[in-house]
Structure 1
Amino acid sequence: MSAAGVALMLGGAGILLAASPAQAAEVSYRTECIPPPISGLPAVQGTTKVQITAPAEAKVGDEVEVVWKTVEAASKNPDVLDLEKDTVKPTGTVTVGGAGSGELKMEGPRQNPPIPKNSPMVLPDMKGKLKLEKAGEITLTPGAYNINVSKPISTDTKCSPKETVPVAARIKVTEGSGNSGGTTTSGGTTTSGGTTTNGGTTSAGTTGGATTSGGTASGGTTAGGGGQSDFPGKEVAVTFACKSPGPAGISSKVTINAKKNGGSYDLVVKTAKGVMNSPAALPAGALKPSMAVVVGGADKGTVPVTGPANKDPLEQGKPVDLADMTGTYKPGAGGKSTLSPGTLTIDVTLGGQKISIPCTVKGTAQASLELDTTAQPGGAAGGDSSSGGSPGGGSAGTDGGLAQTGAENDGALRALALVAGTVILLGGAVFTFTPWRRLRGTR
């Protein structure tokens, strides 16, 4: 068979080669898709049909492009929400076998036509680049994939195979310089400007630019005698892992300051500027932060601190400055007690309905402040401070506990946002079949 064309194109870290089309078979496999936790919906069983294309032949040293085309997704867009143009972004993994091994990360652009309710999901092609390092036959098999929908609020639906998936494409790799003999696949896909081998994540990652280290384990400022009343804390770096529909993670510098007030301490907790991006266009008063400050050392427990809601409207995707959070710490034990950042909770309220997004500390947060405390009646020793438990109802611990606002909170998961007079399910772009009439009856 004569070559359809040969072209050398620089791409990423290597040279991509073009020649006769590869024969890539379409494969189907049973799939389970997990809707975002906020939806409160059950898992969906469906069938995914995928076509993987790659060069039929290449040489050791070549970097080739692999394309994943989703012929049929596991389910239709449910009868809940029309998806706008360019709001859907897929990512996935292709298993590399035979003469190679490992997983190739695949990523598609946020690019789709408008997808009406109760119609097939239309996903853009995903791409990834594979460096060939060994002669032999390489096999490519599609696997798990993730669907991110950016509006009305960012949500992820995670889909994984429930059976052994057939090989979808093969590459014959021979020894050589890699400057000739390779071929690209057909199908009208573009080979320039593709994604890199490390793929990408499906949602906005860490924001704020803070580092993940700093400070000592004891940390903070030690309260001395001499009638001191103000105790400034030390700025410590903290990384939070958030549940959907919040950001995947938040990194921020956090400072806990205290002012003595009788036998108690008035706390002020500050975070970095632009600590997160707004999950949606929100009116004034819609977003409110709180935190469960962890008490350690001689004393034990958590102290809830709460900040006021945003004064000005927030634009979707734009950085958000969280207001200072305040609360009162009443010591329950005497000695040196530490105060460390704990679970950060972001409450979003729309139309009288509230969604709570818990962000738990990854690892162990360092102490921002150390105080010489004197036990007070009803203080924090052995449990939560007398001013109340953690904002999310979590328990104390070195990681700040976990606010009970995730999958266990059925009310929050099924909360509806009233936007422009229309009831829409946040995270409605999941792949599922649902008795939505029951939910609509709550309007």
Structure 2
Amino acid sequence: MRSTVRRVSTRRSGARRHPARARRWAAALGVGALVVAGGGGLAGPAQALATASVPVDFPTHCIPPAIAGIPPIDGTTKAEITVDNAAPKVGETVTVTYTVIEAAASNPVDLALPADIMTPTGKVTVGGAQSASVTVTGPKKNDPVPGKGVFPSFSMTGTFTVTAPGQITLSPGDYNIHTSYIMELDTPCTVTDPPAPVSETIIATDEGGQVNERAIRLGAASGPAGGAVSVTGSKFTPGVSVTLAGRAGDRQTADTATVTADGSGGFDGRLTVTDPATTGIVAYEGGSWDPAKGAGPQAYTVTTGGGGVPDGSQQLKTSVRAGTLSMVQDGDTVEMSAVDLGRGGASRGSLRTVTVEDYRGGPAGWSLTGKVTDFQGPGGATIGASALGWTPACTTKAGSPSTCLAGSAGPVGSGGATLASAPNGTVTGGEFTVDARLALTVPAYTAPGAYSGVLTLTLT
């Protein structure tokens, strides 16, 4: 959290003051980019009481890697959700398998892609008696894909804990296809009109007893060895120390981190994953993993380069470092217009421009708020904080993933108000310019002299 203060002052007086080259490169290198294969109809709604899984079709929006020089294309995905237990008890863990039968993608180049270079990850939407988003991942395993060939079927698995009795629906969600051939590339595909149709329905029964409602959510379902993944938790014991850890099957890896749950039992942390064998991430209270006092594992796949480098080629590697959320302002004092004794009215000015820079990456948005003190004048005279109002404005720099939203016009006061914000999203970040018109309402017979208050801005 970043805060800054600026002094806002006014004065009373007796007198008035008046890309084509990228496509050729991708083709030459044989980059494993994926594009949408159009066509296909939409499935009708799934039966609400279905107990057997059914394949469903849903519209999908895919974004090929930028280096392919191919624009986003819309198509249709056919997928099916299956479970290992269609009649679980509350508190039990259900394994979910998300199978993409027909991907909305194909190989965009003439060069064939070799076997075992594709790692899929995705989400399954849980609805009905409980709501959740289940992370699923698949193995780095695929048949060779011929040039311009259709992308093969693949499956991804994950788990969730049943927390409520009743009918629970499962729908396919967004998925991503990571390729490790020549370069590490991603092709994210999102459900155009979520949620997708229900593919599987299970019926949970209540056997009583204590249910562990602790839960974690990962910022990504895959990443390179040595990379960090964000972990968000809920329903943990408030104020307790929570261990984040990688899992490789039934053992814990050396990848651990510690966070502290806030007053509501939530936390936001990051775990650096270095073990290529990692298959999941957990969070737990206490000295060692205990499913009764933890959450997870949430499926996670370590992606590494592979597939070999063809003769006459060179593999090029780089990395992008995540930054911070910060703000800078072009000054710390605002000179506002004077008003006349006996007339009063609005003393006006403009907030010194604030530039918000969000270089964190990940899904989190931000909020910029402000609060002001009373304006102190001569001989103990004051103008209350509630007399200051503002009209915010916010501009997003071109190319920023997020969109800046200006706060509402109105009083600032000592309790504070929102100056600007950016919402959470799948990908967030960027640069934003924040301004505001200021107006201090001065009573007609306020004692003459200089008045000043302090406006504090806080970025979270």
TM-score bracket for this pair, using the shorter chain length: 0.3 to 0.5
Q: Which has the larger radius of gyration?
A: 2
